Amino acid sequence: MGWASYRSGIYNGKIKNLGNGRQWVYHSNKDVWKLAPSSAVNSGLQGVAGAAGSNGSNGSTGATGAAGPAGSSAAAKNITVFRSSGTWSKPAWCNRIRVQVVGGGGGAAGYCESGGAGGYAEEILISPPSSVSVTIGAYGAGRGYYGAAANGGTTSFGSYLSATGGYGANRNYSHTGGRGGHGSGGMVNFNGGSGTGHTNSAASGAIGRGGSSYFGGTDGSNRQHSGHSVGGSGGADGGGAPGSGGPGSRTDTGWSGASGKKGAVIVYEYE
């Protein structure tokens, strides 16, 4: 049998060293010993691969990158308030704006029948145009008992967002307060509050309350024994927050209700 058979694994590994680099290898199948050729001495089969070494240490931290662009200021640099229609013009430094709009408040009638408040909308515009047309919704005028008081007008900031005015008393149903207007086109869109409805006559009757807008409540009516006073301004663009509805007159007279409050646009300007 040639030496190749012994190298193919048919021997059981018994080895006798004879010195001078000579070895006898035992053949288990033949039960004989065979002298290994000098070229095979000390050259066993290839062993199993060892385990993988551990990972090397991390490299050093790279250089810091260039600084990013400066962020915009968190606070508005300027605020522009519109109570009359006009045009908003962008300052040269302005990169974004926050816009709030509220519609005009509806007018009131007698016996506490009060007007609804204007709706509300809010939006943020990035890189706004150089100018935008602003329209302020008018207040709705008041009327006498059970008359249909005037609705408030729509407020808008160009074509971006708008808010309709509140309904006048008795506009939705007879002897009821007007419903609130609604906002549209903004990230935030709210309805205005509704006005109070009819209250029966009494010697010292309750006073109607107009609907509240996003910016606050309506003015009140002042009861007098020899007449009637509405709000602090006699009814023309009545007192109270922008867009609030007019309060209805006291219950035991035939005096007219108050007018609502006209709308507004507020523009917060940021660098």
pLDDT in tens, 173-192: 989 999 999 999 999 999 99
Torsion angle of C-alpha atoms 249, 250, 253, 254, degrees rounded to 10 = 20
With a cut of 60, say whether residue 67 has pLDDT above it: yes
For residue 160, the model assigns a pLDDT of 98
The whole-number pLDDT of residue 252 equals 61
CA dihedral 84, 87, 93, 94 (to 10 degrees): 70
- Summarize the confidence of residues 70-79 as an average pLDDT: 80
Domain definitions of the chain by residue range: 3-40, 75-271
Q: What is the DSSP letter of 31?
A: T
Cα-based angle 81, 262, 79 (whole degrees, multiple of 5): 10
pLDDT in the model for residue 182: 98
Contact 167, 181 (CB under 8 A): yes
At 4, is the secondary structure helix, strand, or coil?
helix
User: What value does the mean pLDDT of the chain take?
Assistant: 82
What pLDDT shows up at residue 245?
95
| pLDDT tens string 8-20 | 444 455 655 555 5
CB 239 within 8 A of CB 45: no
pLDDT of residue 155: 98
Residue that wins the pLDDT comparison between 21 and 59: 59
Question: Could you read off the pLDDT of 213-261 as tens digits, one per residue?
Answer: 999 998 776 555 444 444 433 455 657 899 999 998 876 666 788 999 9
Q: What's the mean pLDDT in 21-35? A: 60
Q: pLDDT digits over 82-100, tens only?
A: 999 999 999 999 999 999 9
Percent of the chain that is helix, strand, coil (3-state, to 5): 5, 30, 70
Reading the block at residue 242, the tokens are: 């922008």
Torsion of CA 82, 84, 90, 91, to 10 degrees: -70
Helix (H) or strand (E) holding 24: strand 22-27
Identify the band that residue 163 occupies on the pLDDT scale cut at 50, 70 and 90: very high
pLDDT of residue 74: 81
Confidence of residue 77 (pLDDT cuts 50, 70, 90): very high
The pLDDT score that the predictor gives to residue 95 is 97
Residue 42 pLDDT > 60, yes or no? no
pLDDT of 11:
45
DSSP code at position 176: -
State pTM to two decimals: 0.69
Distance separating alpha carbons of residues 184 and 112, to the nearest angstrom: 30
- Give the pLDDT confidence score for residue 107 in this predicted structure: 94
Kindly state the tokens that stand for 221: 């009516």
22: β partners: 19
